Amino acid sequence: MPGTPSKPLRPLRIVHTSDIHLETDTFGSGERGKRMRDEVRGAFSEVISIANRSADLLLIVGDLFDSSRVSPEALGFALGEIGRAAMPVVMVPGNHDAHDERSIYAGLPASAMPPNLHLILEPEGRLIRFPELEASVWGRALVEHSPEYRPLSGMPAPEAGVWNIALAHGYLMENGEYLRSSPITAAEIEASAYDYIALGHVHVFSDVSQGLTRAVYSGTPAPLYASDEAGWVAYVSCVPGRTPQVERIAVRPNGARSD
């Protein structure tokens, strides 16, 4: 039909994660705290392994670290695991690892970054194109976790001929709620007309799709709670001519998978 925007011709497989909270001090400084921090690291390593088995693109949507108080060894571990991924990795900061005056990422030299990592640090947002994947990915850095910061503000219009993907670390506002920090609205999601919006900040896997736009909180992959609601990533399958399909994949640090 004349005038109809072209659509991508190739499928795209995405693994989407967020809220890993590496180096969390939630469990204290004793033996239990060390064991839990090691388990969180193990979960992140398994996310990379899951992506290596099945994904063209890996998205990390904020709070890779629990705070800005990160040792060089811990930073090296995280960047080393990202470098182990066999695909492009796009990452934005979250409220725990915000790109503020204490930013973990501000002083990192380019030589320290894995070549496959695309770290979005621009507060106004940045669009990254992956022609080989027929995909464009947009996100913006979280500098201050406040009601004034709108994770989806400034999104460019979707492009023709590619999968349009966005990353946003914030909280979906329900009808009648008071304004919270880093708010996202259902209207913003639907109006974007993007194929998929990868969300972070909520630790439970949640599908909040609106209209034709799929939007999902991946939840945390880490064993932060004594609940089966934690320990997941989102696996997104984009097939030409279809709405993207999303399933949650359980993260098992021993390498086992279930859904």
What is the mean pLDDT for each group of 10 consecutive residues in the chain (259 residues)? Answer: 67 97 78 82 96 97 92 94 98 94 88 95 97 98 93 96 97 79 94 97 95 96 68 96 95 57
Distance of CA 6 to the CA centre of its chain: 27
Helix axes 72-84, 31-54, angle to 10 degrees: 20
Quick one: 12-250 is in which CATH superfamily? Metallo-dependent phosphatases (3.60.21.10)
Q: Quote the CA–CA distance of 18 and 4 in Å, as a whole number.
A: 35
Residue with tokens 């329900």: 174
